[in-house]
Structure 1
Amino acid sequence: MELARQRVSLLLLVAIGCCCAFGVMAQVPIPERTDGFVYGSGKRPALGETVVVEAYLDPVCPDSRDAWPELKKAVDHYGKRVTVLVHLFPLPYHSNAFISCRSIHTVNKINPSFVYPLLERFFKYQEGYYNQPTYGKTRATVDAEVTKNLVVPIVGEANLAAYKAGFNDSQSDHATRISFKYGCARGVTGTPYFFVNGIPLSDSGSPMEYNKWISILDPLVGKV
């Protein structure tokens, strides 16, 4: 396990180094809007009006899956006093991470209200899309299974054509790449990874329980 962690850290450091090297040679493309999806609202929080929790999650990461319900419960406890912004971070050692993140970016273009239901559906059924179960399948087969089993139940048959067109265009690919580069630029090395009001949490990298979130957020919420 320790050797695997070292290899993962090395891989991500190489990726970060490549991003930095590219940044020296040319400007990294600037997205149309700030990366991430606001939970529970279609509006961006005004700076300074709420405590802002940023969560970097991979839809096929078991630790991301386990972390989300606890964070969601804590945020629901505080209502509008805490804003959660989820960034998708497709880990390179999860074979189907890019597909899953690209799917979520695609449904966001159809209707932003589809984002979190699809993310949670990925969490619920993610074991079927781990590396081993899909090892002998082609990329096209996995894409088709994700569309049929995960996406269509959320967006409906009426939006299927729009989804397929959006998934295969360059915009969804670009948005998914930007999400990964954004995380690398901020030093994210795994999922789940958390920032509170822009400061990284030392407990990032593993799920945090509801009570831990309360202990972190309570002192801050009272000062907003």
Structure 2
Amino acid sequence: MSKNARLSLIIVAVVAVVVAGFFLFSRNDTTAAPQSADGKVTVVEYLDLECPSCRAAFPGVERLKTEYGDRVTFDVRHFPIPSHRNAELAAVAVEAAGAQGKRDDMFRLMFDSQQEWGGQQTSQRAVFSGFAQQLGLDGAAFEKALDDPALKERVLAQRTEGGKAGVTGTPTFFINGTKFTGAPTYDGLKAAIEKVRS
């Protein structure tokens, strides 16, 4: 093979590698984490269902969800505080209700009645099962889900994730990945969301 032919083959090979690399990286860019180029905002809240401050923040968050609709994504995650006897079970109950399409309804019931079941040192499982009945859930499926190790693991994984992100108390909010440091009131959260959207 002549020197020129060898050089031509090397050039062709280099070009092929460059083109392949271009397509590979282009494809990876399209599967990367979604960007908020459309101005979309994500609000992540870590909460404890037995926490009075979380209950106090709940109506404001619900109002913001209604006002913003699909322009802002609200992602609620569990951070049950170990000293709250029933917080972990309450979180599992919410996820168990979610398996039957009633996650948000169970959240609402938990907070609406928190003063009745919160702060108790005995298991409130019967109370949570009563909530499932109020919501018209399949009672047997709900009870089975309460004992599902996978649901408990999901709740504890969210708490671990929150701890790694710097959550030390509840409620803790992150707006587009930045920890919110103000009072978690409707006005405070709205101002922070608007600042990110502008």
Contact preservation (8 Å) 2:60, 2:185: yes
| Runs of 4+ residues over 6 Å off in structure 1 | none
| 1:1-224 matches, cutoff 5 A | 46-48=34-36, 49=38, 50-111=40-101, 114-131=102-119, 134-135=120-121, 137=122, 139=123, 142-148=124-130, 150-154=131-135, 156=136, 159-203=138-182, 208-222=184-198
Task: Give the AA of the match of 1:59.
Answer: L
Contact preservation (8 Å) 2:117, 2:127: no
Which ranges in structure 2 are unaligned for 5 or more consecutive residues? 1-32
Find the aligned partners of 1:144 and 1:74 in 2 and give their Cα distance: 32
Post-superposition shift, 1:46? 4.9
Find the aligned partners of 2:162 and 2:189 in 1 and give their Cα distance: 22
Indicate the SS of the match to 2:80: coil
Higher relative contact order (CA 8 A, sep 6+): 1
Indicate the SS of the match to 1:217: helix
Give me the CA root mean square deviation: 1.8
2:11 match: none
CA deviation digits over 1:62-94, x for unaligned, max 9? 100111211221232222221111111111111
Q: How many residues align?
A: 164
Which ranges in structure 1 are unaligned for 5 or more consecutive residues? 1-44
Find the aligned partners of 2:65 and 2:35 in 1 and give their Cα distance: 17
| Larger Rg computed on CA atoms | 2
TM-score of the pair, normalised by structure 1 = 0.68
Q: How much identity, in percent, do the aligned residues show?
A: 25
Find the aligned partners of 1:120 and 1:166 in 2 and give their Cα distance: 19
